Structure 1
Amino acid sequence: MTMQLHELKPTTARKVAKRIGRGGKRGKTSGRGMKGQKARAGNSMRPEMRDIIKKLPKLRGHGKNRAKTVNAERPIAMPVNIAALALAFPKGGEVSPKSLVGAGVIRSQRGKAPLVKILGNGEITQKITVTGCSVSASAREKIEKAGGTIV
């Protein structure tokens, strides 16, 4: 005798869900503990919405309406010491941000030669001409002593 479709029976007995909050033994707090935000209705966030919210970056900083006088994007000059110039230009010559990038003393930033400030650490004997760079007082003194010029 073969089994018929109408003769099928569940392999396990059906589990009846607990009816919570309907009086009797599961009333009052209905398994939610005491008071608080989690005990109230509508406290849970939908899981997919939570994931989206958690992936967004936090709003930090001062916002777009901060005073224009404070500028975090102000370009900062790259420091280059005289000792590095003496090594990079052994025969002297013209020193500019472009020539410093070409000599490998500094790296270009976003495809452009950055602002440069020449500092007075070290010694120089070569005659160099500095253009397009800001120079500290001690560096100016040493360059002019070696016979160089600052344009």
Structure 2
Amino acid sequence: MQIPFLQRIQALAGPAINKVVPADAGPAATAAATQLRQVLAGLPELLGAAVVAIESGQALATYTTSREFNLPKALGHNADVVRQQRRALQALGLPAEEALEEILITLRHQLHLLRLLPNDRFLYVAVDCRDTNLGIARAVIRSCEG
């Protein structure tokens, strides 16, 4: 049973965990949520995921397994990373066919992948290295680009 008052109280406790949450009811957020469900089907052990608008750094849809995993803060910084890397590549004067496709951030126990999508968005996925290897994560993400 869904009780709106209880849902608002639960939202005060922090982000929803183990649930794909679209930012709103619009078509872009709905498509982003569908994309995250596809990623989750291929990587059920992931730590967090989101589809993010690059210019604003705002998530269209998110998924996390822990309230301590502060996705909104991380996503804004990751959007900055994408914008900075685009500027760096532009400064190199590379040919047009050399476009940024993916950024990998490797930590001791985690992999954070940022896969650029059409419409000026990126797919962010964080996985534990002990549960998933880079090849599997990349294959799943590429199959969910849509």
TM-score range, shorter chain: under 0.3
TM-score, normalised on structure 1? 0.21
Structure with higher helix content: 2
Bigger relative contact order (CA 8 A; separation at least 6): 2
Between Structure 1 and Structure 2, the one with more strand by share is 2
TM-score, normalization: structure 2?
0.21
